[in-house]
Structure 1
Amino acid sequence: MNAPLLPANPAVKRWEKPPSGHVKVNFDASFSNNKINFGVIAIDEGGFVIGGGGGFKDEIMLIERAESYAFDESIKIVCALNIQIVVIFETNNASLVNSVKHHCTDVIVIGARIKESIKALETF
């Protein structure tokens, strides 16, 4: 008999405050009525919300592009808040995380968008 693909008792993950001297910025995107919706929230080391935002874009696009758009918006919020300490960006999109980690070798279209986002990060 083959082993199950998913564990019988999945690991329970929960959100954690950022470490001392850090700000955690969580962002996400979703679709509704042919629009992408996005949200961003910035939280300090005490677990308190220090800023955020959200909105929509009246455009149909791939989820990877929508998540990349939310990432861009999260960078704009960090700049607007003038955060001068280490920022941890958090998302639930593994594809975007991998694209950011491998932005130097990523040659697909979303990789080009990530490279633009990385350049924006270098401004602060």
Structure 2
Amino acid sequence: MCPRCGVERETLVHALRECPSARAVLRYGGLNQKLFEGTYDRCVDWIEDAARVMDKKAMSDFISTLWNIWSSRNSKVFRNIEEDANVTWDMAAALNRDFRIFNLLDRPMIPKPVVERDWQKPESGVIKINFDATIHENTGWYGLVARDTDGFVLGGRVGMSNNVSSIEWAEMHAMEVSINYARSKNWKCVAIESDCASIVNRFNSSKEDLTLMGHQLKEIRKFTVGFNFFTVKWVPRCCNRVADALSNWANLNKSCMDFNMDFPTEIHDIVLNDAIK
């Protein structure tokens, strides 16, 4: 039972998001109201959704705030001290300022790794499918694009899924559509990429997942049996720009369709930029 509200069983997502004490801090700090919508079984899924709508500075502040919410929870548990929301927020704000001052004055001890920032062409004989999804008013909109080793577009699809409770469910549906799209084309060597880390990790995990989503992913894996080569890989959003643009285009135009090389003109420049890298 939650030691602060005493209403629900304490989980990490409850302690940092659902508990009234935690929500008071987040609302005091002006957190985007969209991040209070929907339900989450895992805290990491909520944080991942937050990362989709925040820039780096806001995300850094958000993580510091969560750390201070957990610290205030420990004060209640171990010292029986209940901090006001403004106190917890002020501590988080002070911590953020200190970090920024330190980062300005001191060079990092560990250099940042060099990361590829462009879409990478697949190996010869492999078809690469990138997919992405967005959500609007409980409707998921997805986009997928298939390209060959030269970066040429072989085809793709945009569409929708109804009654979607979270972006993760929308992404999972887009993954299923991508796999079935490859099967319909009779492609035997397929590499699939997505910027949704949680779905990719859960799909590739060998651990048993007893959740409803875990059961659905288990069913989706069965569709991959007929491939000679098949992988699902996470990539940063900058390497998934075409699929991202397609899902947003589908949402904006409320469009469901397949295309071959006659893809929407709105993504032409992004496709060309990926192909010439």
TM class, shorter-length: 0.7 to 0.9
Q: Which position in structure 2 is the counterpart of 1:31?
A: 135
The amino acid of 1:119's aligned partner reads K
Deviates more, 1:52-61 or 1:89-98: 52-61
TM-score (norm 1): 0.84
Q: Which position in structure 2 is the counterpart of 1:68?
A: 172
How big is the shift at 1:104?
A: 4.2
How big is the shift at 1:109?
A: 2.1
Aligned structure 1 segments of 4 or more residues deviating by more than 4 angstroms? 1-4, 7-12
Q: Which position in structure 1 is the counterpart of 2:223?
A: 120
The structure carrying a bigger strand percent of its residues is 1
Return the alpha-carbon distance in structure 1 between the equivalents of residues 165 and 156 of structure 2. Answer: 23
Could you say what secondary structure the match of 1:83 adopts?
coil
Q: Which position in structure 2 is the counterpart of 1:110?
A: 213
Are 2:126 and 1:22 equivalent residues in the alignment?
A: yes
Return the alpha-carbon distance in structure 2 between the equivalents of residues 82 and 48 of structure 1. Answer: 18
In structure 1, list runs of 5 or more residues that go unmatched.
none
How big is the shift at 1:108?
A: 2.3
Could you say what secondary structure the match of 1:66 adopts?
helix
Q: Which position in structure 2 is the counterpart of 1:40?
A: 144
In structure 2, list runs of 5 or more residues that go unmatched.
1-97, 228-277
Over the aligned positions, Cα root-mean-square deviation in angstroms equals 2.4
TM-score (norm 2): 0.40
The amino acid of 2:204's aligned partner reads K
Q: Which position in structure 1 is the counterpart of 2:187?
A: 83
Q: Which position in structure 2 is the counterpart of 1:94?
A: 197
How big is the shift at 1:106?
A: 2.3
Q: Does 1 or 2 have the higher relative contact order (CA < 8 Å, sep 6+)? A: 1
Is the 8 Å Cα contact of residues 51 and 81 (structure 1) preserved in structure 2? no
Return the alpha-carbon distance in structure 1 between the equivalents of residues 202 and 112 of structure 2. Answer: 30
Is the 8 Å Cα contact of residues 42 and 49 (structure 1) preserved in structure 2? yes
Structure of greater Rg: 2
Could you say what secondary structure the match of 1:54 adopts?
strand
Could you say what secondary structure the match of 2:171 adopts?
helix
Equivalenced residue count is 121
Q: Flag the 1:16–1:121 CA change in 2: closer, same or farther, 3 A.
A: same
Percent of aligned positions that are identical: 35
Is the 8 Å Cα contact of residues 103 and 115 (structure 1) preserved in structure 2? no
Deviates more, 1:98-107 or 1:32-41: 98-107
